[in-house]
Amino acid sequence: MFESKIKTGKEKALIISDQDCKIYSILRSPSGTGTLVVFVPARTGSRIGPQRMFVEIARKLLDKNISSLCIDLPPLGDSQHFGSLPFYKGNIVQQEVYFYRFHLEKIYDFLKENYQYNDYVFCSISTGCIPILDFAQRKNFSRVVLISPNHLTISNSIINSKNVKSYFLKLLNKETWLKLIYFQLNYGKIMNNMIIINKTKDIPKSKTSATPQSKSEVNVLSVFGEKDSIRKECQKFWRDYKKKGGINYSEHVIESADHSFFGWNIKNELINIISNWL
C-alpha cells in the first residue's frame, strides 16, 4: 500500500491501494498521533456525507486538534475494487457487514503501519452503523459515533415489502423514468434489495449474527433526527441492543431534523454534539 503526496495545509489526500482495491480518502491531521476519527459512509454515500456533513465535522475536529480520515468505499467516488469480493456465503445482511469489514481491515492495517494514532473512533450513518460497530468491537476500539443509525435484520421472507414500497414510490419520480428509459438503473442491486434469501444454515454459527459481536464494551454516541421516518423503530432496536450488553449507549434527538440532517442550523447542532462528545 502507498500514500499519495497531494497535500493542502493540514489536509492530505491518501490513496490506500493493494492488489484488491484502491481507496481514496482525505486525512486531516495536525500531528499524525493521538485520536483519529474515521468517517465511513453508507454504501450509497461518499466521504463528504449528506450535504458535506463529514467534511464540516472533520474540519471542526481539526480546529480542536483532533485528526480525521474521510474515506470513499469502492465503487464510490474514485475508489475501486478489482474483480469480485471473496465469496461470503450468507444472506444479504451478512454480505453487507462483510463488505465493510473487508475494506476497513485494509484501511486499518495501512494506518497502523504508517501512523502512530493510539485511539480510533469510527463514525458512520444509516446502514453503515451496524458494520462499523461490528468492526470496532472486533478491534477493541473504545468509541463509535452512529448518525441516524438504521439496523440490519435477517428476514426469512422472500419479498422485502419495505424496499418494494420504497421502489414503488420512486417510480413516481420523473428522473427514475428517464433512468429506466436509458437503462441507467442497477437492476441487479434493486432485485437484491427486494428479495432476501436466508442461507444461515450453511454458515458456521459464529458468523450468523447480523448485529455486532459483543467482544468488548464500546461507548456509543447515537444521534437521530426527530423527523426521521424510521427513528422510533431504530431507537427501539438500539435500546434493546443496549440491554444485551456490550455497549455503553447514549442517545440524542435533534429537533426538526430528518434522516440526513438537512439544513445548516441542524447540521451545526449535529457537529457540536459530536465534537463535544469526542
Q: With respect to residue 81, please indicate whether it lies within any of the assigned structural domains.
A: yes
What's the DSSP call for residue 84?
P
Average the pLDDT over 66-95 and give the result. Answer: 79
Q: With respect to residue 271, please indicate whether it lies within any of the assigned structural domains.
A: yes
Q: With respect to residue 184, please indicate whether it lies within any of the assigned structural domains.
A: no
> What count of other Cβ atoms lies within 10 Å of the Cβ of residue 191?
9
Cβ proximity of 39 and 124 under 8 Å: yes
The mean-pLDDT minimum among 34-43, 72-81, 188-197 falls in 188-197
- The answer, yes or no, to whether residue 195 has pLDDT greater than 50, is no
Q: With respect to residue 183, please indicate whether it lies within any of the assigned structural domains.
A: no
Based on the structure, what is the number of domains in the chain?
A: 1
* Residue of higher predicted confidence among 91 and 78: 78
What pLDDT does residue 77 have? 83
The mean-pLDDT minimum among 129-138, 159-168, 207-216 falls in 207-216
pTM of the model: 0.75
What's the DSSP call for residue 201?
G
Q: Quick check: helix, strand or coil at residue 113?
A: helix
Name every residue whose Cβ is closer than 8 Å to that of residue 264 and which is 6 or more positions away in sequence: none
* Residue of higher predicted confidence among 94 and 255: 255
* Residue of higher predicted confidence among 138 and 84: 138
Q: With respect to residue 71, please indicate whether it lies within any of the assigned structural domains.
A: yes
* Residue of higher predicted confidence among 125 and 43: 125
Start-to-end Cα distance in the chain: 30
Q: With respect to residue 193, please indicate whether it lies within any of the assigned structural domains.
A: no
In angstroms, rounded to a whole number, what is the distance separating the alpha carbons of residues 78 and 56?
Answer: 21
Residue 171's alpha-carbon distances to 24, 229, 263, in angstroms, are 33, 20, 27
Burial class (CB in 10 A: 0-12, 13-18, 19+), 77: middle
Residue ranges making up the domain that contains 252: 6-155+214-277
The mean-pLDDT minimum among 98-112, 116-130, 139-153, 174-188 falls in 174-188
* Residue of higher predicted confidence among 175 and 17: 17
* CATH code assigned at 54: 3.40.50.1820
Q: With respect to residue 180, please indicate whether it lies within any of the assigned structural domains.
A: no
Average the pLDDT over 240-257 and give the result. Answer: 93
Q: With respect to residue 85, please indicate whether it lies within any of the assigned structural domains.
A: yes
What does DSSP say about strands 67-71 and 21-28: parallel, antiparallel, or unpaired? Answer: antiparallel
- The answer, yes or no, to whether residue 87 has pLDDT greater than 80, is no
- The answer, yes or no, to whether residue 194 has pLDDT greater than 80, is no
* Residue of higher predicted confidence among 165 and 32: 32
- One-letter amino acid for residue 141 of the chain: F
